[in-house]
C-alpha cells in the first residue's frame, strides 16, 4: 500500500469531499490517502468546523492554531514533525509560495519521497515580475508531478518548467451530485426556503457569491445591475427586472452598501456568508449566476452554479472560463470591468432572448466531467507520474 498525504492549509467542505472520494476510490488501487491540515482554522474563510467522521485519516500539523497567525518557524517545524510521524511515500501539497509548502517540499527531498504540486495558479491571476518568476521556476521544477485545475493552469506550469507529461488536471472540483440534489430539493419546496434571507420574495433573481474583497469586482456587478434595470425601464413593453442576491462578506461590505445607497439601486439583497448546507437553496431558486472577478485563479462558485443547473455569466479573467464556459451554450463571458457588456447579458438572460432551460442543461452536461472522480483520477495519475519522475531523478544522481 502506497501512502499519499494530501494537504491544504485548512479543510473546507470541498477538500473533505475530494479526500473522502479519493480515499474510497483509490484504496482498491493500493493507495492510502491521508488528509493533512496545517492549522485548525484560518482568517479568510468562514466555514464551520467539520469534525465528523471521514473515509480518510485526518491530521492537523498545528492543532488549535489559526493559519495566518502561525509564525514561519512554527509552520516549518510543525509540518516537518507531522510528516516525520506519518512518513508518507508521497506528499501532494497545495501551492509553492509559502513556508508550509517549502517545508513539505524540503522534507520530500530530504527523505527521497515523491512531491506532487497542487496548483490552480495561471499567468494572468496576479502581477508578475521577472525575478519572482525565476524563483518560482526553481521551486516548481523540484516537484515530481503536478495536479492542476485546467487549461490555463497547465500552460502556466509548463511555462515554469514542468514537463507536460507530469501535469494532470482535477484539483478544483466540487461534489456535483450534492449541489444538484439539494438545488432540486429547494426547487420542489420553494416555500420551505422562504425563511432564508434574500429568498423571501417570489420570482427569479441573479445570484452572485464571493468574498467581499476588491478583486472580486462586486462593484461592477452592482453598477451593471443598476444599468440593466435602467435598460428594462425604457421604451414600450417594460419587463419586471430580476432581483440580485449577493452572498458573502468581507472588508468591502461597507463600500458596497454605500454604493447601493448612493446610486439608489433597488432589488439588491446581501444575505451574508452562507454555509454549504444552505448554499444549494440559493442556487436552486436563482435564474442565473454572475461572477465578475478581475483576477481569479479558478472560481469554484462557478462549478457549484453549473452543478446546480444554472446558466453562468463569467468574467473572462476567471481561470475556469476557458474550460467551463461555452459562450452561447451554457452562459457567456465578458470583460471584467465592462459594465455595459454585463448589463446587456443580464438583459438577454432575463427577457427570454436565450433558452434558459437549454443553457441550464448545458451547464450540467459540461460540469459532469469536473466532479469528484476527476480529482481522484488526477491524483492517482499524478502519483504514477511522480513515481516515474522520481525514479528517473534518482537514477540520474547515481
Q: What is the pLDDT of residues 332-357, one digit of tens each?
A: 999 999 999 999 999 999 998 999 99
For residue 397, pLDDT beyond 60: no
For residue 50, the model assigns a pLDDT of 83
Distance CA 261, CA 254 (A): 11
For residue 51, the model assigns a pLDDT of 83
The rounded Cα 143 to chain-centroid distance in angstroms is 23
Strand pairing of 114-119 and 288-291? unpaired
For residue 368, pLDDT beyond 90: yes
Distance CA 281, CA 152 (A): 31
For residue 392, the model assigns a pLDDT of 67
Q: Closest by alpha carbon to 150, among 389, 20, 325?
A: 325
For residue 46, the model assigns a pLDDT of 86
Distance CA 197, CA 199 (A): 6
CB neighbour class for 43 (10 Å; exposed up to 12, middle 13-18, buried from 19): exposed
Q: Number of C-alpha atoms within 13 angstroms, CB side, residue 326?
A: 13
Q: What is the pLDDT of residues 233-281, one digit of tens each?
A: 765 456 789 999 999 999 999 999 999 999 999 999 999 999 999 999 9
pLDDT above 70 covers a percentage of the chain that reads 96
Q: Residue 241 carries which DSSP code?
A: P
For residue 394, the model assigns a pLDDT of 58
For residue 398, pLDDT beyond 80: no
Compute φ and ψ for 110, nearest 5 degrees: -65, -40
Contact 5, 85 (CB under 8 A): no
- The kind and range of the H/E element at 388 are helix 372-397
Least confident piece of the model among 38-52, 152-166, 229-243:
229-243
Look at the alpha carbons of 9, 12, 16, 19 in this order and tell me if their dihedral is positive or negative. Answer: negative
For residue 188, the model assigns a pLDDT of 96
What the block records as the C-alpha cell of 161 is: 518548467
For residue 358, pLDDT beyond 90: yes
For residue 359, pLDDT beyond 60: yes
Q: Closest by alpha carbon to 35, among 64, 3, 75?
A: 3
Helix, coil or strand: residue 135: helix
Distance CA 364, CA 259 (A): 34
Look at the alpha carbons of 15, 20, 26, 27 in this order and tell me if their dihedral is positive or negative. Answer: positive
Which residue segments constitute the domains of the chain, with CATH numbers given? 2-173+371-390 (3.40.50.2000), 176-369 (3.40.50.2000)
Q: Which residues contact 11 (CB under 8 A, 6 or more apart)?
A: 19, 35, 37, 50, 58
The rounded Cα 183 to chain-centroid distance in angstroms is 19
- Only one residue has cell 509564525, namely 71
Q: What is the pLDDT of residues 83-106, one digit of tens each?
A: 999 999 999 999 988 899 999 999
Q: What is the mean pLDDT of residues 286-300?
A: 97
Indicate the pLDDT class of residue 383, thresholds 50, 70 and 90. Answer: very high
Mean pLDDT over the full length of the chain = 94
Q: What is the pLDDT of residues 171-220, one digit of tens each?
A: 999 999 999 999 999 999 999 999 999 999 888 999 999 999 999 999 99
Amino acid at each position: 500500500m502506497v501512502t499519499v498525504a494530501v494537504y491544504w492549509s485548512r479543510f473546507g467542505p470541498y477538500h473533505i469531499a475530494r479526500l473522502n472520494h479519493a480515499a474510497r476510490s483509490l484504496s482498491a488501487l493500493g493507495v492510502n490517502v491521508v488528509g493533512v491540515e496545517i492549522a485548525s482554522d484560518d482568517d479568510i474563510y468562514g466555514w464551520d468546523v467539520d469534525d465528523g467522521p471521514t473515509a480518510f485519516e485526518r491530521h492537523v500539523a498545528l492543532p488549535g492554531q489559526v493559519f495566518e497567525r502561525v509564525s514561519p518557524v512554527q509552520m516549518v517545524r510543525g509540518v516537518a514533525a507531522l510528516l516525520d510521524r506519518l512518513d508518507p511515500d508521497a506528499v501532494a501539497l497545495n501551492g509553492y509560495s509559502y513556508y508550509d509548502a517549502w517545508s513539505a517540499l524540503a522534507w520530500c527531498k530530504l527523505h527521497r519521497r515523491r512531491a506532487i504540486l497542487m496548483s490552480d495558479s495561471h499567468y494572468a491571476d496576479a502581477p508578475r515580475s521577472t525575478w519572482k518568476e525565476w524563483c518560482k521556476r526553481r521551486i516548481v521544477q523540484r516537484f515530481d508531478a503536478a495536479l492542476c485545475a485546467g487549461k490555463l493552469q497547465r500552460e502556466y506550469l509548463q511555462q515554469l518548467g514542468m514537463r507536460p507529461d507530469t501535469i494532470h488536471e482535477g484539483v478544483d472540483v466540487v461534489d456535483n451530485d450534492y449541489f444538484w440534489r439539494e438545488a432540486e430539493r429547494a426547487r420542489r419546496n420553494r416555500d420551505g426556503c422562504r425563511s432564508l434571507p434574500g429568498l423571501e420574495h417570489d420570482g427569479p433573481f441573479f445570484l452572485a457569491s464571493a468574498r467581499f474583497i476588491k478583486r472580486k469586482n462586486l462593484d461592477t456587478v452592482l453598477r451593471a445591475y443598476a444599468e440593466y434595470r435602467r435598460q428594462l425601464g425604457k421604451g414600450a413593453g417594460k419587463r419586471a427586472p430580476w432581483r440580485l442576491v449577493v452572498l458573502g462578506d468581507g472588508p468591502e461590505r461597507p463600500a458596497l452598501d454605500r454604493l447601493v445607497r448612493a446610486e439608489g439601486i433597488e432589488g439588491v439583497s446581501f444575505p451574508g456568508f452562507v454555509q454549504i448546507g444552505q448554499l444549494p437553496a440559493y442556487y436552486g431558486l436563482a435564474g442565473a449566476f454572475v461572477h465578475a472577478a478581475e483576477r481569479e485563479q479558478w472560481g469554484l462558485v462557478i462549478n457549484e452554479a453549473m452543478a446546480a443547473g444554472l446558466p453562468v455569466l463569467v468574467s473572462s479573467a476567471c481561470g475556469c472560463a476557458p474550460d467551463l464556459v461555452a459562450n452561447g451554450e451554457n452562459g457567456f463571458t465578458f470583460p471584467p470591468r465592462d459594465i455595459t457588456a454585463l448589463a446587456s447579458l443580464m438583459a438577454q438572460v432575463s427577457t427570454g432572448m436565450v433558452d434558459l432551460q437549454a443553457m441550464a442543461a448545458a451547464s450540467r452536461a459540461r460540469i459532469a466531467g469536473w466532479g469528484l472522480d476527476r480529482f481522484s483520477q488526477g491524483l492517482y495519475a499524478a502519483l504514477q507520474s511522480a513515481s516515474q519522475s522520481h525514479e528517473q531523478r534518482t537514477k540520474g544522481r547515481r
